[in-house]
């Protein structure tokens, strides 16, 4: 009899251990833990390499996006539609931040509690604030928190997906479509590396979003009880300048990582999609960050244009002749420079050229805001010269045509001189 009890006890223990292991695995479907020493070795290995040449990546798609200029610095299959896994939660968070009150308390539904994958482990009936759910969403990458937030804001997962797609359309993300708030695999749930970078750029304009994704560790409250969670972003607080944003993993999407990094006041966003391992996505992200900061610089295009225009105006403004005009006083100005700053490879500033063309002769009258000339900004490449922007030169005042009275006065003045 006692032998049977021992056997039963052992079976129960094995079941509990197996269950515990399965829970850990479910919890870590998105992110397995990486030893700090391994990550440090990866950083040292990658940053010690030469970053003059373009990076060679293992990830299926990637992009480096400059926030200051809104330019893509570097890309690999950047417009290819791909599964995005939990990087989806960047959009989820933005919809919530724009439509919900952070102090609202959410009661967790059975559907939210039973959501699989990476979870915060909230249970049916649990009460948790929107703010703490957002931390669980973006730090712990909880799929259960994603559903709880979606139901609170959109009424249902489907209703929330409609809001996500409306926002994508508003932002001009034509290669992006959402089905869920968490990003578990679905054929109709996809984005591109470039559009994910643009979405992240938009999200980082929200101070609360930027604050949350830059949080390494925090204690939240579930049912009034404290719970400490740690950010899944392996580069946050480890690689110089990294201040967000979001990790991701599913079988279809592979390993994904969106990273924000700021150095010397300049901020870039890197996106890697479809890496086979976490180590690869970490290496690829570091390569992109180090490559971008080592090889590119920002130039103040607006300052260059205004300086060139003032120099040109000093010489040429009085050279424009207006036939039959009461006065020859044109007051010239230019349209706003749209690309106020641009990012280029270091040492290529001399390849930026500013060309000014103008019309030297007009027939009066010349109306206010008439186009007088054109500024063309170009960049010389190995094959040709590509146009960056064109800016109109216009006059800010009306120039009237001479009247009979004007001619009579001129004639009278002529005879008086005689």
Q: Tell me, what CATH number does 315's domain have?
A: 2.60.410
**Catalytic residue IDs:** 86, 89, 141
Is 291 part of a structural domain of the chain?
A: no
Q: 246: closest CA among 237, 238, 234?
A: 234
The pTM score is: 0.84
Q: 391: closest CA among 373, 407, 405?
A: 373
Question: From its phi and psi, is residue 293 left (phi > 0), alpha (psi between -120 and 50) or beta?
Answer: alpha
Q: Are residues 248 and 345 in the same domain?
A: no
Is 44 part of a structural domain of the chain?
A: no
Q: Are residues 213 and 148 in the same domain?
A: yes
Q: Work out the end-to-end distance of the chain between its first and last CA atoms, rounded to an integer number of angstroms.
A: 140
Total domains in the fold of the chain: 2
Domain boundary among 275, 307, 341: 275
- Classify residue 239 as exposed, middle or buried by CB count within 10 Å of its CB (0-12, 13-18, 19+): buried
Q: Are residues 117 and 261 in the same domain?
A: yes
Q: Are residues 107 and 221 in the same domain?
A: yes
Position of tokens 């791909």? 82
Helix (H) or strand (E) holding 248: strand 242-250
Is 50 part of a structural domain of the chain?
A: no
Task: Report how far apart, in Å, the C-alpha atoms of 313 and of each of 14, 283, 300, 360 are.
Answer: 86, 51, 20, 13
* CA 290 – CA 261 distance, rounded (Å): 10
Q: Are residues 258 and 360 in the same domain?
A: no
Q: Domain limits at 216?
A: 59-275
- Determine the pLDDT at residue 54: 82
Q: Are residues 124 and 251 in the same domain?
A: yes
Is 70 part of a structural domain of the chain?
A: yes
Domain boundary among 275, 307, 323: 275
Q: Are residues 243 and 305 in the same domain?
A: no
The 10 Å Cβ neighbour count of residue 356 is 18
Is 205 part of a structural domain of the chain?
A: yes
* CA 128 – CA 122 distance, rounded (Å): 9
What is residue 336's three-state secondary structure?
Answer: coil
Is 226 part of a structural domain of the chain?
A: yes
**Nearest 10 degrees: CA dihedral of 336, 342, 346, 348?**
-50
Domain boundary among 210, 240, 275: 275
Q: What does the pLDDT profile of the chain (418 residues) look like in tens digits?
A: 544 554 445 544 444 444 443 333 333 344 444 445 566 667 766 666 655 578 999 999 999 999 999 999 999 999 999 999 999 999 999 999 999 999 999 999 999 999 999 999 999 999 999 999 999 999 999 999 999 999 999 999 999 999 999 999 999 999 999 999 999 999 999 999 999 999 999 999 999 999 999 999 999 999 999 999 999 999 999 999 999 999 999 999 999 999 999 999 999 999 999 999 999 999 999 999 999 999 999 999 999 999 999 999 999 988 899 888 888 888 999 999 999 999 999 989 999 999 999 999 999 899 999 999 999 999 988 778 899 999 999 999 998 887 766 666 666 666 666 5
Residue 172: CATH number of its domain:
3.40.710.10
* CA 302 – CA 282 distance, rounded (Å): 36
Helix (H) or strand (E) holding 358: strand 352-358
CB 235 within 8 A of CB 285: yes
Is 7 part of a structural domain of the chain?
A: no
Question: From its phi and psi, is residue 110 left (phi > 0), alpha (psi between -120 and 50) or beta?
Answer: alpha
What are the residue ranges of helices labelled H in 155-277? 157-170, 193-203, 207-213
Angle (nearest 5°) at CA 196 between 41 and 116: 75
């Amino acid at each position: 009899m006692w032998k049977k009890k021992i056997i039963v006890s052992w079976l129960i223990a094995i079941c509990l251990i197996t269950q515990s292991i399965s829970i850990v695995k479910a919890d870590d479907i998105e992110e397995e833990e990486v030893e700090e020493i391994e990550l440090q070795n990866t950083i040292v290995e990658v940053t010690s390499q030469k970053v003059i040449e373009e990076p060679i990546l293992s990830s299926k798609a990637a992009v480096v996006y400059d926030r200051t200029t809104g330019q893509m610095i570097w890309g690999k299959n950047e417009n290819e539609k791909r599964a995005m896994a939990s990087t989806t939660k960047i959009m989820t968070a933005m919809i919530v931040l724009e439509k919900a009150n952070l102090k609202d308390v959410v009661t967790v539904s059975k559907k939210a509690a039973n959501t699989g994958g990476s979870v915060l482990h909230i249970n049916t009936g649990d009460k948790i604030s929107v703010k703490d759910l957002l931390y669980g969403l973006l730090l712990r990458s909880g799929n259960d928190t994603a559903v709880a937030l979606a139901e609170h804001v959109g009424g249902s997962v489907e209703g929330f997906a409609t809001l996500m797609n409306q926002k994508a359309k508003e932002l001009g993300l034509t290669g992006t479509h959402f089905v869920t708030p968490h990003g578990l695999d679905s054929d109709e749930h996809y984005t591109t590396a470039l559009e994910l970078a643009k979405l992240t750029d938009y999200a980082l304009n929200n101070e609360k979003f930027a604050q949350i994704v830059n949080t390494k560790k925090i204690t939240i409250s579930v049912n009034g009880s404290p719970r400490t969670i740690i950010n899944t972003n392996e580069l946050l607080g480890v690689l110089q300048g990294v201040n967000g944003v979001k990790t991701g993993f599913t079988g279809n999407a592979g390993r994904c990582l969106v990273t924000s990094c700021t150095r010397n006041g300049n901020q870039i966003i890197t996106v890697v999609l479809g890496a086979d391992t976490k180590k690869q996505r970490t290496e690829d992200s570091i390569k992109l960050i180090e490559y971008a900061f080592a090889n590119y610089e920002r130039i103040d295009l607006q300052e260059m244009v205004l300086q060139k225009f003032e120099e040109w105006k000093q010489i040429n403004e009085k050279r424009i002749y207006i036939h039959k005009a009461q006065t020859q006083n044109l007051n010239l100005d230019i349209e706003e420079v749209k690309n106020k700053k641009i990012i280029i490879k270091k040492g290529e500033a001399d390849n930026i050229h500013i060309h000014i063309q103008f019309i030297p002769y007009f027939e009066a009258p010349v109306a206010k805001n008439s186009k007088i000339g054109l500024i063309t900004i170009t960049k010389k490449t190995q094959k040709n010269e590509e146009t960056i922007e064109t800016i109109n030169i216009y006059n800010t005042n009306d120039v009237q045509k001479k009247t009979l009275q004007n001619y009579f006065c001129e004639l009278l003045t002529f005879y008086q001189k005689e």
